[in-house]
Structure formats: structure tokens, C-alpha cells
Amino acid sequence: MASPLTTRRVVTGHTPDGKSVIESDRILTSLNPIDQKPAEGIIPGITQILKTEGFPAKANGPFFDPYGAKGVPLVDDSGVFVRIIHFPPIGEDQEDKLNFKHRTQSVDVGLVLSGEIQMTLDDDVKTILKAGDTVVQRGTVHEWRNISNEYCVMLFVLVPSDPIKVPQTGEVLEPTPMPLLED
């Protein structure tokens, strides 16, 4: 059995004569987003599953593998990102540099695969999501915090979006800079 911080990723493709084939079957270790080493301690581990290059996604040609690549942003306007995040249990009071309130310019779908996680919005409203729950994050300020005693594993699909605007004023709400992830 794989360790709790690993994910098996199977990638399919085609032979030169058009037959279906498995191109890759790998166990991916969840990585620290800062240094791309295996995640440990209170730092959430990220497993990059897929990053498309543009719209529509390209299913022909070689598979672009974002796993372990340096400089893969949290999200950008060049394509869709799919990743799994392993959130370690950290409790409510422990200082945590990576789980902070942030906004992305994207519409994100999150699915809790196992465990539970607390989502906090910019008004400090907290919601607990459990295994099987989904969230559609529409460019809002939010924070993820695993206040349980077990790992929480989530699948995220991030789709770039138009800029987020305040309906009453038209003010554009900028994405949060991610200095720890962009260094």
C-alpha cells in the first residue's frame, strides 16, 4: 500500500496507429511547494497531476508533466491545473505560513477525498468540509486549515477566470501574491 502522502497517476494516450495505451503509471510523492522535496511536518504537500496548455486542452502529442517542476504557479491564465493537496493536522492555534488567506483569479473545484478541513473566508466565517464534500471557490478570499488529528486529502481543479470585480463599484480584486511559492 502506498504511503498517505503519495498518489498513483495513470496517464493514457495513443499509439502511432491510434490505439489506446497507458503512457505512464507512476506513484507521485506529495511535495513541499517551496523546495519540491517530499512534504513533511506542518507544510501541506502538493501533487501536480495535470496542467493543460491552453483551451481546449491538447490530447495529441506528448504529455506535459507538471510533477516536480519548479516554477509551476498556483494558477495562471494559460490552462487548467489539477492537483492533490495533503493537509497535515496542525490544530487551530499553531502558526502556519502556508495556510493563509488568499485569493486566486480562478474558479476552483475542491473535493475532500479523506479527512476534514476548515475553510475560512475573509469575514472569518468558518465552514468544515468532510470526505465527499465539494466546494466551488469563485475567486473569493479563503484559507484552508486542517484542525483535525488526521491528514486531509483534497483534489483541486483550478480554472483561470476573468478578473474578480466588486459589483457595486467595478473595483478589480487582485489575486494575493504568493511570495513563498514564487521565490
User: Whole-prediction pTM value?
Assistant: 0.89
Could you tell me the CA-to-CA distances from 124 to 16, 88, 121, 144 in Å, in that order?
Answer: 54, 21, 5, 12
* Domain ranges for the chain: 6-182
* The pLDDT of residue 1 is above 50: no
Residue 65: CB atoms within 10 Å: 16
pLDDT at 183: 43
The three grid cell numbers given for residue 58, joined into one nine-digit string: 491538447
pLDDT in tens, 28-63: 999 988 888 888 888 889 999 999 988 889 898 889
Say which CATH topology domain 6-182 has: Jelly Rolls (2.60.120)
pLDDT at 34: 80
pLDDT at 100: 78
Question: Residues 111-121: what's their mean pLDDT?
Answer: 97
